[in-house]
Amino acid sequence: MSVSTNERELIRAAQQGDQSAVVALYEEHRDCVYTYIYHRVTRDPDIAEDITADVFVRMVSSLHTYKIKSTPLIAWLYTIARNHIIDYYRDLDKYKHTQLSESMKDTASLPDSHVMLNSDLDTLRSAMENLTESQRDVLICRFMSEMSVKETAKILNRNEGAIKTLTRRAISALQRQIRPEVRYA
């Protein structure tokens, strides 16, 4: 996953103040950044949107310092996103949470399969919160953002072997938390 010629041109144009290049970079990377943030901040779309916006505001204000190398812009954006997520968790009052009563869903009117799916997702979310940050990052990149091992390695600044090992360990840790009574190899 190296920097494409088109991305290099867009970055250079954006660094020189071309607003259409900034918009093109935003449109190219927004969904990946949002997905990453969404899965790291308890799946709240409003908070994920706010943090995503902050990431791109930071991109625009700091783009002049970005050096075009073999590492793609998306890796830099994930680093910015990770830092904003850390800030979010340090200061939860900065981002307003909806009241629990407003966010509770009336499960009585939902089909049983939907209730079961929500229950399974809640179990998975709770288990993921108990993983290390590296384990959460690798699972989000690999399975929620559907990145390859190579792409994930670039984003997380690790080699491909480390990503494979980290993925296996993260999955094993999830299995142990979700089904502690089962013995996993």
Domains of the chain plus CATH, in order, are 1-96 (1.10.1740.10), 109-185 (1.10.10.10)
Q: What is the pLDDT along the chain (185 residues), one digit of tens a residue?
A: 455 778 889 999 999 999 999 999 999 999 999 999 998 886 788 889 999 999 999 999 999 888 887 568 998 999 899 889 888 877 765 434 433 334 444 444 444 444 444 456 667 777 788 889 889 889 888 887 788 899 888 888 899 999 999 999 988 888 888 877 655 55
User: What is the separation, in whole angstroms, between the first and last Cα of the chain?
Assistant: 33
Q: Is the pTM of this model over 0.85?
A: no
Do residues 8 and 68 make contact, with C-beta atoms less than 8 angstroms apart?
A: yes
d(Cα 73, Cα 82) in Å, to the nearest integer?
14
d(Cα 143, Cα 60) in Å, to the nearest integer?
29
What distances in angstroms separate CA 41 from CA 14, 125, 130, 153, 154, one per listed residue?
A: 29, 10, 14, 22, 22
In the numeric block, which tokens belong to residue 4? 């494409």
